[in-house]
């Protein structure tokens, strides 16, 4: 898997880019300076659950924590 590169804008917004497109498989591809997060795969906006499905298809367990807006890998300790 190729790793996207994080570009931090002057206002503090972080963008993860892969081949010139917003893309991130282990978190949101855009983290705005004000805390808003947006998820992208191959330049297309997506829902975090689609990213979870991608990992599950690879045989890696993970889940999306809506409270913290993060992907978690390993055991779910609810």
Q: What is the pLDDT of residues 31-65, one digit of tens each?
A: 999 999 999 999 999 999 999 999 999 999 999 99
Would you say residue 56 lies in a domain? yes
Kindly give the pairing relationship between strand 44-46 and strand 37-41: antiparallel
Q: Is the pLDDT of residue 24 over 60?
A: yes
Would you say residue 77 lies in a domain? no
Would you say residue 65 lies in a domain? yes
pLDDT band at 74 (very low <50, low <70, confident <90, very high): confident
Would you say residue 31 lies in a domain? yes
Q: Is the pLDDT of residue 1 over 90?
A: no
Would you say residue 78 lies in a domain? no
Would you say residue 43 lies in a domain? yes
The tally of domains found in the chain comes to: 1
Average pLDDT of span 8-34: 97
Measured CA to CA, the distance from residue 24 to residue 40 in angstroms comes to: 6
Would you say residue 46 lies in a domain? yes
**Contact between 37 and 28 (Cβ < 8 Å):** yes
- Could you list the residue range(s) of the whole structural domain that residue 33 is in? 5-71
């Amino acid at each position: 898997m190729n790793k996207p590169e994080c570009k931090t804008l002057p206002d503090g917004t972080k963008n993860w880019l892969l081949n010139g497109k917003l893309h991130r498989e282990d978190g949101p591809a855009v983290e705005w300076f004000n805390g808003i997060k947006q998820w992208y795969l191959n330049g297309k906006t997506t829902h975090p659950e689609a990213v979870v499905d991608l990992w599950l298809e690879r045989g890696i367990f993970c889940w999306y924590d809506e409270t913290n807006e993060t992907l978690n890998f390993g055991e779910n300790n609810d």
